[in-house]
Amino acid sequence: DQQVKQNSPSLSVQEGRISILNCDYTNSMFDYFLWYKKYPAEGPTFLISISSIKDKNEDGRFTVFLNKSAKHLSLHIVPSQPGDSAVYFCAALEGSTLGRLYFGRGTQLTVWP
């Protein structure tokens, strides 16, 4: 049973525009959320995170928004760059930072010039 869902397998955006990647979850016990970025033939690398007590976290071009009532989070990349082309995984933690990570299926982002 997929507790973290990324319903868009792919997204294509022009360079300079905003990329919005979406993620939904079903487990209300999740209290920490992370986004990972993965290039081909490499392992996932941590990008940005947000605690459930916040509704927004920003780091440079990357912003994550959390809507707890809707059990939805999104990653905004502004402006998008060709080097951002990768698979983005949404992940969630239950209970604490020591809990198990649950991953979504990922969204392939392609940023074209």
Query: What Å distances lie between residue 73 and 24, 41, 43, CA to CA?
Result: 6, 27, 23
∠ CA 62-67-73 to the nearest 5 degrees? Answer: 45
10-14 and 107-112 strand pairing: parallel
At its nearest, how many Å lie between other proteins and the CB of residue 102? 8
* Residues in Cβ contact with 30 at an 8 Å cutoff, skipping those fewer than 6 apart: 3, 52, 92, 93, 94, 102
At its nearest, how many Å lie between other proteins and the CB of residue 39? 10
4 is a site residue for other proteins (CB under 8 A): yes
Q: Which of 64, 91, 109, 111 binds other proteins (CB under 8 A)?
A: 91
Contact window for other proteins (CB under 8 A) among 52-60, 61-69, 75-83, 100-108 = 100-108
At its nearest, how many Å lie between other proteins and the CB of residue 5? 10
69/96 with CB nearer other proteins: 96
Distance CA 104, CA 74 (A): 13
Q: Which positions from 44 through 83 interact with other proteins, judged by CB under 8 A?
A: 44-46, 49
Q: Which residues bind other proteins (CB under 8 A)?
A: 4, 6, 9, 32, 34, 41-46, 49, 89, 91, 93, 97-106
